[in-house]
C-alpha cells in the first residue's frame, strides 16, 4: 500500500523523553510525519507524561518475562491500531522484536549518543556510552541516527554530527552537550527519512547542508566541519 503524507509516527521511549519532546516540538509547514502514538516499556517513564501533555495516545507494553514473539504480536497490533507507518526510537532500551523490524523494515529510526559504529551495541546506553568515550581518549563524540535492524545500534547510518570532547568533561557534561545536538538532529533526520519514504525510495544518508552549522552554533557544540566539506 502506498504511503501518504503525513506518515503516522510512533515514538518508543523508556526514559525522560527529551528527544520525544524535540520531535513533538518540531514544526514544519508541510509535515512529512506526525506523532500519533507513544510506546514505553516502563509505567513511570517521563515520556508518558510528555505524551499526555501533548494529547498523544500512549501505551505501556511491558517486556519483562515475555518472549519476542508475544511482544512482537502485541506491538504490531498496537501499531496497526494507530495507523503507524514509521517508528522513532528515542531512548528505548529494549531490542525491537524481529517481527516488528521485519514489518517496518527501513521505517524504524534510532538515535544513539555516540558516533557509531564506535561505542554501540548491547549495554552501551546512557552514561555507559559517555564513560566509554571519555575512557578511550576520543576528542570527538556526537549523536548518530540510524535505521534499526535486528541488532542493537547496527543498522545503516542516516546522520551523524561531531561534537567536541573537552579535557575537563565528565560523562554528565559530555552527555548534555551531545543531547543538545540530538534534539536538533533527530527531527531533521526524521524529515529526511520520511520524505524519502514518501517518494517511494529507500532511505539513505542525510545531506548535511551548510545551514546545519548555524543550527548547532550556540548549543555549546562548536560548529564542526565535516569531512569533504571544504
Q: Count CB atoms within 10 A of the CB of residue 163.
A: 25
Phi, psi for residue 130 in degrees, rounded to 5: -70, -35
Give min distance, CB of 2 to ligand GRF, in A. Answer: 31
- Segment interacting with ligand GRF (CB under 6 A) among 36-44, 108-116, 152-160, 217-225: 108-116
Kindly identify the residues of this chain, within the stretch 176-195, that bind ligand GRF according to CB under 6 A. Answer: 179, 182
Q: Is 112 a catalytic residue?
A: yes
Q: Count CB atoms within 10 A of the CB of residue 125.
A: 18
User: Per rule CB under 6 A, is residue 15 in the interface with ligand GRF?
Assistant: yes
- Segment interacting with ligand GRF (CB under 6 A) among 17-25, 28-36, 133-141, 219-227: 17-25
User: Per rule CB under 6 A, is residue 113 in the interface with ligand GRF?
Assistant: yes
User: Per rule CB under 6 A, is residue 19 in the interface with ligand GRF?
Assistant: yes
Q: Which residue is nearest to ligand GRF (CB)?
A: 91
Give min distance, CB of 81 to ligand GRF, in A. Answer: 24
Give min distance, CB of 4 to ligand GRF, in A. Answer: 28
User: Per rule CB under 6 A, is residue 17 in the interface with ligand GRF?
Assistant: yes
Catalytic residues: 112
Instruction: Give the residues lining the site for ligand GRF (CB under 6 A).
Output: 13, 15-19, 90-91, 111-113, 143, 179, 182
Amino acid at each position: 500500500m502506498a504511503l501518504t503524507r503525513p506518515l503516522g509516527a510512533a515514538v518508543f521511549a523508556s526514559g525522560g523523553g527529551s528527544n520525544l519532546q524535540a520531535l513533538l516540538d518540531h514544526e514544519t509547514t508541510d509535515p512529512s510525519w506526525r506523532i500519533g502514538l507513544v510506546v514505553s516499556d516502563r509505567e513511570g517513564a517521563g515520556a508518558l507524561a510528555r505524551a499526555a501533555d501533548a494529547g498523544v495516545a500512549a501505551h505501556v507494553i511491558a517486556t519483562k518475562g515475555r518472549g519476542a514473539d508475544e511482544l512482537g504480536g502485541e506491538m504490531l497490533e498496537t501499531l496497526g491500531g494507530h495507523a503507524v507507518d514509521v517508528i522513532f526510537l528515542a531512548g528505548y532500551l529494549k531490542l525491537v522484536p524481529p517481527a516488528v523490524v521485519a514489518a517496518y523494515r527501513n521505517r524504524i529510526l534510532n538515535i544513539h549518543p555516540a558516533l557509531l559504529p564506535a561505542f554501540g551495541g548491547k549495554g552501551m546506553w546512557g552514561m555507559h556510552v559517555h564513560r566509554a568515550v571519555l575512557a578511550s581518549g576520543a576528542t570527538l563524540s556526537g549523536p548518530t541516527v540510524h535505521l534499526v535492524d535486528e541488532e542493537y545500534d547496527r543498522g545503516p547510518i542516516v546522520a551523524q554530527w561531531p561534537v567536541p570532547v573537552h579535557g575537563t568533561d565528565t560523562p554528565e557534561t559530555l552527555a548534555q552537550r551531545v543531547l543538545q545536538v540530538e534534539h536538533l538532529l533527530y527531527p531533521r533526520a526524521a524529515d529526511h527519512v520520511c520524505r524519502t519514504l514518501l517518494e517511494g525510495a529507500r532511505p539513505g544518508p542525510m545531506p548535511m547542508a551548510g545551514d546545519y552549522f548555524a543550527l548547532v552554533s550556540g548549543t555549546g557544540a562548536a560548529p564542526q566541519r565535516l569531512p569533504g566539506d571544504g
